[in-house]
């Protein structure tokens, strides 16, 4: 299994058109121009509406900061660093209000016709097995990635480790001496792709 590691600080920030924040793309698969899967970290400096992404499923998690209030069709959802990731339709473009200052947010977006994606909080010592070939771990703090019982990487803070050949393997989060703040991410292409 070949593992790629991408550090947040190594990726160039892209300013939003509305001036409300910056985004750093950690992974655009298979490429930036025609991505089917995109994983990024957004630095949200002020409230305002999300950009609309028709045909895209979005997952969202607060990585740092006091959190956000998202105005969704079914009501307002408050999310902070302790919340489970939220999945919603990218065409909805919810309004976003900052609870108390800027936040860093983890985003997973997938073109719906391309396949299915998933995100969940990673807990130390709890094994994760998934049939999806493309799997990743994002960690806000230093952490260890254990695959099939073997330590394969010690990750720095604010990094993404990913591979396209992970189907069926057992992944486990080690904490490298810190309380982890990490998320599992996966993508399973649609049949025929």
Indicate the pTM of the whole model.
0.93
For residues 133-159, give the mean pLDDT. 95
Q: What is the pLDDT of residue 176?
A: 56
Question: Is 142 a residue whose pLDDT tops 60?
Answer: yes
User: How many residues in total does the chain contain?
Assistant: 193
Return the residue matching tokens 């079914």: 74
Please say whether the beta carbons of 42 and 22 come within 8 A: yes
Q: What is the pLDDT of residue 71?
A: 92
Q: What is the pLDDT of residue 47?
A: 87
Q: What is the pLDDT of residue 178?
A: 59
Give dist(CA 95, CA 77) in Å, integer. 11
Q: Give bridge partners of residue 192 from the DSSP assignment.
A: none
Give the pLDDT band (50/70/90) at residue 9: very high
For residues 174-193, give the mean pLDDT. 78
Share of the chain above pLDDT 90, in %: 75
Determine how many CB atoms are found less than 10 A away from the CB of residue 155: 25
For residues 114-139, give the mean pLDDT. 94
Higher pLDDT, 153 or 18: 153
User: What average pLDDT does the structure give for the chain?
Assistant: 91
Q: What is the pLDDT of residue 192?
A: 54
Give dist(CA 26, CA 38) in Å, integer. 8
Q: What is the pLDDT of residue 45?
A: 87
DSSP label at residue 91 = G
- Tens of pLDDT, residue by residue over 19-60, are 778 999 999 999 999 999 999 999 998 888 888 899 999 999
Cα-based distances in Å from 170 to 58, 135, 167:
25, 11, 9
Closest CA to 106 of 1, 5, 27, 189: 27
* Class of residue 178 by CB neighbours under 10 A (exposed 0-12, middle 13-18, buried 19+): middle
Cα-based distances in Å from 11 to 24, 156, 175:
6, 14, 24
- Full set of structural domains in the chain with CATH: 12-114 (2.60.120.10), 115-188 (2.60.120.10)
> What does 70-121 look like in DSSP terms, one character per residue?
EEETTEEEEE-TTSPPEEEEGGG--EEEESSS-EEEEEEEEEGGGEEEEEEE
Give the pLDDT band (50/70/90) at residue 175: low
Q: What is the pLDDT of residue 89?
A: 94
Please say whether the beta carbons of 58 and 90 come within 8 A: yes
Please say whether the beta carbons of 123 and 50 come within 8 A: no
Please say whether the beta carbons of 15 and 27 come within 8 A: no
- Tens of pLDDT, residue by residue over 57-109, are 999 999 999 999 999 988 999 999 999 999 999 998 888 999 999 999 999 99
């Amino acid at each position: 299994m070949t593992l790629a590691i991408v550090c947040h600080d190594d990726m160039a920030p892209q300013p939003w058109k509305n001036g409300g924040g910056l985004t750093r793309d950690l992974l655009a698969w298979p490429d930036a121009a025609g991505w089917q899967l995109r994983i990024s970290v957004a630095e949200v400096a002020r409230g305002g509406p999300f950009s609309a992404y028709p045909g895209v499923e979005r997952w969202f998690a607060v990585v740092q900061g006091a959190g956000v209030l998202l105005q969704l069709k079914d009501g307002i959802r408050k999310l902070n660093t302790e919340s489970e990731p939220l999945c919603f339709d990218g065409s909805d473009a919810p309004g976003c209000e900052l609870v108390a200052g800027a936040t860093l947010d983890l985003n997973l977006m997938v073109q719906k016709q391309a396949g299915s994606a998933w995100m969940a909080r990673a807990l130390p010592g709890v094994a994760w097995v998934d049939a999806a070939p493309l799997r990743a771990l994002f960690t806000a703090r230093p952490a260890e990635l254990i695959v099939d019982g073997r330590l394969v990487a010690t990750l720095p803070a604010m990094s993404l480790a990913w591979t396209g050949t992970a189907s069926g393997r057992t992944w486990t989060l080690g904490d490298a001496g810190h309380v982890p703040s990490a998320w599992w991410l996966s993508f399973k292409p649609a049949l025929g792709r």
